[in-house]
Chains A and B, each alone.
Chain A
Amino acid sequence: MQAFVKHNGLVAPIDRANVDTDALIPKQFLKSIQRTGFGPNLFDEWRYLDQGQPGEDCSGRPLNKEFVLNQPRYQGTTILVARANFGCGSSREHAVWALEDFGIRAVIAPSFAEIFFNNCFKNGVLPIILSEDVVSQLIDDASNQEGYRLDVDLPEQCVITAQGERFAFEINGAHKHNMLNGLDDIDLTLQNKAAIHEYERAAAQRTPWLFSDIAG
């Protein structure tokens, strides 16, 4: 997983509440066997005028010119700002895979759906919770000022504007540690390697029939 320490990026506003995982990645793309390659289908129904099919080359598809991420000034966006309850709906991890593959490093919103929020930390995308007021201000600024960028400083836990205005955010210690070090859950668990082996040795004594591959 890609580590997240500090990031400076172009900001695009998604001025909606309840952006659900179906909007992030429609269900026909779940037939894929890949974890990558979902980027061209991020927000598929909003981004294109036709209906996308899995495996289709998106470069020739008709674009919805109105949609934020299709506008020339937002090309290269790495930070999204959206309204409340971002990522609600089905638990599909594909939604985060699509954001990551598209190049999004952070999403700022007043609140997130729980499963989506947790899935973000498994994939190196930083979800940042800021107040409704601050989010409104950021959406306005990103809409009105071309080339609007933000700094995200994870060690300091704050978002910083070009003018130096700082907005602090909360994050739990385990999540912060994972993101800073680019550790996924598996890396973290593997720090307990010895304990897992120890468990197996003891369990192989108690219930040897479950551990024919491990000497008791």
Chain B
Amino acid sequence: MAGKTLYDKIFDSHVVREADDGSVLLYIDRQLLHEVTSPQAFEGLRLSGRQPWRQVANLAVADHNVPTLNRAQGISDPVAKLQVETLTRNCAEFGITEFGMGDLRQGVVHVMGPEQGFTQPGMTIICGDSHTATHGAFGAIAFGVGTSEVEHALATQTLTQRKSKNMQIVIDGELGRGVTSKDIILAVIGQIGTAGGTGYAIEFAGSAIRGLSMEGRMTVCNMAIEAGARVGLVAVDEVTIDYLEGRPLSPSGEQWQQAVSHWRTLVSDPDAVFDEVITIAAADIEPQVTWGTSPEMVVSVNGRVPATADGDVVKTQSFQKALGYMGLEADTAITDISLDKVFIGSCTNGRIEDLRAAAEVAKGQKVSDRVKLALVVPGSGLVKEQAEQEGLDQIFIDAGFEWREPGCSMCLAMNADRLEPGERCASTSNRNFEGRQGQGGRTHLVSPAMAAGAAIAGHFVDVRNHQAGS
């Protein structure tokens, strides 16, 4: 019999019961909660007189609606304020730990969970948020769910699920200088498309993935959903184990040793069979920039905005619609696109390593006069504190960036940070959909170093040239 994939191993070990129709009742080890998708789930519990099955399996934080400025004054939007306060009230009522707005540990849910050691290898983890795939970087099955499922998991610690197919994406070889995990995942999405991973759990493998830090692996898994897959994962290795050692919620003492020996088994067997395997040479990946309104509309920084999709009529139409929305002419060189705003942050690229990469480019430079606002929003209070200890905040401030409080911010513009109609933004977030960063706003997805480079030049630049020169 063939060996098992990592996904199959974790999935199979969490089956509580299998139904006749092939669906299974899957045990959920951990649930993360935030203010936008949880209120009705808690109300559901209240209406039916139920209690959480396991309080300690849940951890909550407000991130989507929180302001990144003047936090001491509270939230001015009354609707947002009520949503955030409701989370606090619900957590108190149901005995769930919440990191409030004033807590140093507060941050974007997918930055906070790993940072605390709440996320661990071999777990099943859910959250009412599609970017839950981020946590798969630890060799866990992590996926986003709807509000009924949030309630279902609160009440029963399980979900009814069907097994996905297995896809392996192998990135072998060495990444070029200035090329990052964000460029890997954008290049993958450019190649397989936003529906390429639909129905699959994607395991990212190969020497280039092994060579990434945990931060880098999280960036890759974070955007598995943009490739259509609900689950992205990376096998456990020493990098994973080193990251987890000593985290507040990591196992300790004797249990640490026990956990580590179990975690080391969390790799796909050498003879495991994947339904689909895709191989990309790391050396072929260049810094990526999206030009359209879907993450698959992406080219290298030295490329040009395309006009047609190789004679595919439907695709060509959607290209033209995207160009219209983005206010771009076909065949424009990417480096000729100038910017109004720059956003560095989000659960994709709001971690310490991301801020370091951006600061390295920004150091001693000035944000272009053409750029109205360049925002740096740390992914969590702890990331912010660490960056300040390293002096990164001062580098950004000296260069003319704004240094803000942690949260989702301009990734989805639910708070006051947003694009005005027609404004163009270089963003380290994950979605360039129409209106995502504000109605009529135009988003180009890039890595943190590329965003910093664009802020300084006022247009996109190949960050590799900059780094060679400095």
A contacts, CB < 8 Å to B = 31-36, 54-55, 91, 93, 97, 119, 122, 174, 184-186, 189-190, 192, 195-196, 199-200, 203, 206-210, 212-214
Contacts and interface: CB of A to CB of B under 8 A. Distances in A.
15 contacts: A33-B40, A93-B40, A93-B147, A93-B148, A184-B48, A186-B48, A186-B155, A192-B158, A196-B16, A196-B53, A196-B156, A207-B259, A209-B120, A209-B255, A209-B258
A195 B25 contact: yes
Interface in B143-193: 146-148, 151-152, 155-158, 160
A208 B43 contact: no
Interface residues of B, number: 42
Contacts of B122: 207
A34 B155 contact: no
Given A119-B148, A209-B259, A212-B56, A192 B79 contact: no
A199 B16 contact: yes
B158 A196 contact: yes
Contact of B44 (A31, A35, A212, A213): A35
A99 B259 CA distance: 48
Given A33-B39, A199-B27, A186 B151 contact: yes
Contacts of A91: 146
A74 B259 CA distance: 63
A19 to B, nearest CB: 20
Nearest to A210: B29
B16 A195 contact: yes
A24 to B, nearest CB: 16
A97 B146 CA distance: 14
A7 to B, nearest CB: 22
Contacts of B152: 185-186, 189
A32 B21 CA distance: 36
Interface of B: 13, 16-17, 21, 25, 27, 29, 39-40, 43-44, 47-48, 50, 53-56, 79-80, 82-83, 86, 120, 122-123, 146-148, 151-152, 155-158, 160, 251, 255-256, 258-259, 262
A208 to B, nearest CB: 6
Given A35-B43, A207-B122, A190 B79 contact: no
Given A31-B83, A33-B86, A210 B123 contact: yes
B156 A31 contact: no
Given A33-B82, A203-B27, A213-B54, A189 B146 contact: no
Given A35-B44, A122-B148, A185-B148, A192 B17 contact: yes
A54 B78 CA distance: 11
B160 A185 contact: yes
Given A185-B160, A189-B25, A189-B152, A209 B43 contact: no
B40 A213 contact: no
Contacts of A196: 16, 25, 27, 53, 156-158
Contacts of A192: 16-17, 25, 158
A31 to B, nearest CB: 5
A186 B17 contact: no
A54 B29 CA distance: 35
Contacts of B151: 186
A96 B321 CA distance: 32
Given A31-B79, A189-B158, A203-B13, 8 more contacts: A35-B43, A91-B146, A93-B146, A184-B48, A186-B152, A207-B262, A208-B258, A213-B55
A185 B148 CA distance: 9
Contacts of A214: 54
Given A189-B152, A209-B251, A55 B79 contact: yes
Nearest to B123: A210
Nearest to A198: B16
B229 to A, nearest CB: 17
A51 to B, nearest CB: 14
A191 B152 CA distance: 13
Contacts of A174: 21
Contacts of B147: 93
A192 B16 CA distance: 9
Nearest to B156: A189
A128 to B, nearest CB: 21
Contacts of B29: 210
5 nearest A-B residue pairs (beta carbon) = A33-B39, A209-B251, A35-B40, A209-B255, A189-B156
A189 B83 contact: no
A24 B160 CA distance: 27
A209 B29 CA distance: 11
Contacts of A212: 56
Nearest to B39: A33
Contacts of A199: 16, 27
A213 B57 CA distance: 9
Given A33-B82, A33-B83, A186-B152, A195 B40 contact: no
A189 to B, nearest CB: 5
